[in-house]
Every structure is written in structure tokens, then in C-alpha cells.
Structure 1
Amino acid sequence: MMKRHLTKALLCGAAGALLLGSAPVRAATGVAPPAMYPAATWQGQSQAVVRVLDRLDAHLELLTIPVGGSATYHSLSVGVEACVSRPQTLAADAGALLHLKDSSDPQRPPFDGWMLAQEPSVATYGSPLYDVRVVSCAGAPTAPQAGPLPVVKAPVLASAEVPVEEGGDAPASQPGSASGGPVPLAPDSHNPIPLAPPSGAAPSLAPAAPAQPSGQPLPPPEADPGLE
């Protein structure tokens, strides 16, 4: 049974390779990157969701407070001046400008500042009774507006020539070939290629011997008188 499944998988892989090999090669096209808001873009909203922890009984309370309004939890007063969040194309985060005041602790100064949902340690309310965190923003969009997304254009790719692999077919036109075909690897027996003298060798000054008619013997070479 296992051998049958293995044979079937090999046949399917071979069929897939044949289909991929027979597919036509298409030209590459440029793909535009996704349109995103800049990192410093924030969107205003009309409500803020704030979580309050009562340290005495570990009770969590979610308060939905409109911008410009306030809410109370026991002796804690929570006012919201602004709430902004990031658009959907950026990493999720929210920030609220809060005003906190505990009436049971008049010695502690009120908190006035921004709190961030994803970075709660940047600003905290140092009360021994309450811990306040920003959860998110809600409601209708208000100022500041995120604005339209930037227009992103697809890149234009330059046409590139396909390089010839090593050992592959050479182009039809070669320098030094009059007919434009491939250069012969061996000289033609009917039209031998003359060999050039080696570089640096002195040219021969002796006259060439006259051609003798076919069928007649060559005369014997003359003796050098200096050798007698």
C-alpha cells in the first residue's frame, strides 16, 4: 500500500513538472506597493474608552467618555479633552488627553497629560487606589482628519535581454564570419587558411623556387664553394 502511494505521488509530481515546463513565459510586470498612511498620521474620534482598576477590590470598570466631557468612578474624576487613534493601514494604537483627580486624596496633584494604549508605561497615574489605562477610541471621526491615502504608482520595469548560458547556442551574427553563421572549428580542405608567421620572426628574403613542370626531375642542388 505504501509503495502504491509513493508511485502515485511520483507520477503526480512528474505530471506537474511537465505542465509547468509547458507553460508560456510571461513578461514581468511592476507591482505597486500597498498604499499606507505616514507613521505620524492620527485620526480624531469623538469618544474615549478608559479602564479604571480599583486596587482595593481588584474591580475593573470600563468608562466610555465623550470628548470634552467627564465621568466619575467612586472618588476618581476622569475628564477627556481629546482622543486620537491610528488609521487601519498602520499599527493599532490610541492616545487620550486625560485630566484625573482623586477627591479622597487632596494632597496628590491632578494628572493632566496624554496616555497611550500600546505604551502605558510612558505616562501613568501614580495613585495608590486607582490605576487608569486607555483602551481605545470610539465614536464618529473628528478633527484631526487622516486625509486621503497617498497615490502609489506601479514601477515601470526596463526590458532586459536574456543572457546566453555558458555552453549554449551562440547568436546568429558573429564577428569575423562573413555569412553570419557559426565559425568553423576546422579549416576547409579545399580552402586552407594561411598561417601567419610567428610574431617577432624576420621575414624570409630568399626568392621562392620556380615551379617545375609536372613529370620533370628537379636539378641537383649546387655545392657551396665555401665547404670544399
Structure 2
Amino acid sequence: MNRLVGAFMLLGLPAGAQTTIQGDNRVISLGNAPVAESKTRAAASSAAQAVMRGLDKLAGASEDIILTAGETTQFGPLTISMQDCRYPKGNPNGDAFVSLSIIDTKTGKSAFDGWMIASSPALNAMDHPRYDVWAIRCKLDDRTPSVVAGESSPLPIMRPEELGGN
């Protein structure tokens, strides 16, 4: 039996279901069911780096993490590996989505493996009792400022007492 037909039977969908693409629209036909159309998304570009934010929920401390594609870093007991950071083509400040693998080194289990979407962090969130990690944006290169605190400013963040205030 054809795998595709078997999958449709398993899902309870008619074997005659088909998807066709017409221009910028995707048309999905399921037997005699009404036709569903959806706009396809614009093409995406890959970025060299991703800006992530990690939160230790117990200590209440957050840390900004900049990862390069193929790089692995530690955040607490978590080992974070980034495979890719994509953004809408022609709009590097647009909605980023980052491919990550996160392993809890204490348990040896995977805490997350998949794509995180910057604009919808709860859509595919990491599930860990103490730590949160989420995507902020893609960063094209070292010269491109990111939105993390202090990076877009020519001066480092200073405490009021360092500025001469009380």
C-alpha cells in the first residue's frame, strides 16, 4: 500500500485528498469537503547568529545568549546548540525562527529540539522546571546591533552610582 494513502487512512482522511499549489496560494482538497486555501509565506534567509534569552526562574536572573550557527554553549546545566536562524527575506528585523537542540546535562534528556519562533515564544516553548530559553532575533554579523540591552548603545549600561548620581 502506498505510504501516503496509508497515512490518509490512518488519519481518517479520504485517500483522494490532495494538495495543489496555484501561484501564491496552496489549495487543499479533501474529497467532497470544501476547498481550503492559504497564502504561502515569503521566502526566508539564514543569518549567521541568533540572539537568545535565558531565564533562571528560581534566581530571577536573565542572560542574553548570542549563538553562531553550529555553536554550542552552556546556560546553567543546559547545553544549547543552534543549527540555523532564519528571518523573512529582505527583512532582517522581521520574525526570526531558530532551530535549537537543548539538553539538560543533569538528566541527560532533551529539554527542547525544534524551531523556536521569536514572535510567538509559547507556540513551541521549552519545557523545563527551572530554566526558560527563548529566541529574540537573528543577528546578521558582529557589526549588526541587536536589541539586547546595551548592544545598540555606544556606551555600556552603567549603574546610577557610576554616572555620578545618588
TM tier, smaller = 0.5 to 0.7
For 1:77-92, list aligned pairs within 5 A: 77-88=79-90, 92=94
Q: Pick the structure with more helix per residue.
A: 1
TM-score, length of structure 2 as denominator length: 0.56
Distance 1:122-1:105 versus aligned 2 partners, 3 A rule: same
Q: Which residue of 1 aligns with 2:71?
A: 69
Aligned-partner residue type, residue 49 of structure 2: Q
Match for residue 160 of structure 2? none
Structure 2 counterparts to residues 1-228 of structure 1, below 5 A:
39-88=41-90, 92-106=94-108, 108-140=109-141
Q: Which runs of 4+ in 1 moved over 6 A?
A: none
The whole-number CA distance in structure 1 between the counterparts of 2:59 and 2:80 is 20
TM-score by length of 1: 0.41
Does the CA contact (< 8 Å) of 2:47 and 2:86 recur in 1? yes
Tell me how far 1:90 sits from its aligned partner.
9.1
More strand by share: 2
Q: For residues 142-186 of structure 1, what are the alpha-carbon distances to aligned partners after superposition, in whole Å with 9 as ceiling and x for unaligned?
A: xxxxxxxxxxxxxxxxxxxxxxxxxxxxxxxxxxxxxxxxxxxxx
Question: Unpaired segments of 5 or more residues in structure 2?
Answer: 1-39, 142-166
- Equivalence for 1:22: none
Q: What secondary structure, in the 3-state scheme, does the structure 1 residue paired with 2:122 have? A: helix
Q: 1:47 to 1:57 in 2, by over 3 A?
A: same
Aligned equivalents of 2:129 and 2:100: distance in 1?
A: 18
Q: Closer, same or farther in 2 for the Cα pair 1:91/1:65, shift >3 Å?
A: closer
Question: Shift in Å at residue 96 of structure 1?
Answer: 0.4
RMSD, aligned α-carbons: 2.1
Tell me, yes or no, if the aligned pair for 1:39 and 1:90 is still in contact at 8 Å: no
Secondary structure at 1:53 match in 2: strand
2:102–2:111 CA contact under 8 A, matched in 1? yes
Preserved contact between residue 92 and residue 138 of structure 2 (Cα < 8 Å): no
What's the offset of the Cα at 1:89? 5.4
Give CA-to-partner distance per residue, 1:17-46, whole Å, 9 cap, x none.
xxxxxxxxxxxxxxxxxxxxx832111100
Unaligned ranges ≥5, structure 1: 1-37, 141-228
The structure having more radius of gyration, on CA atoms, is 1
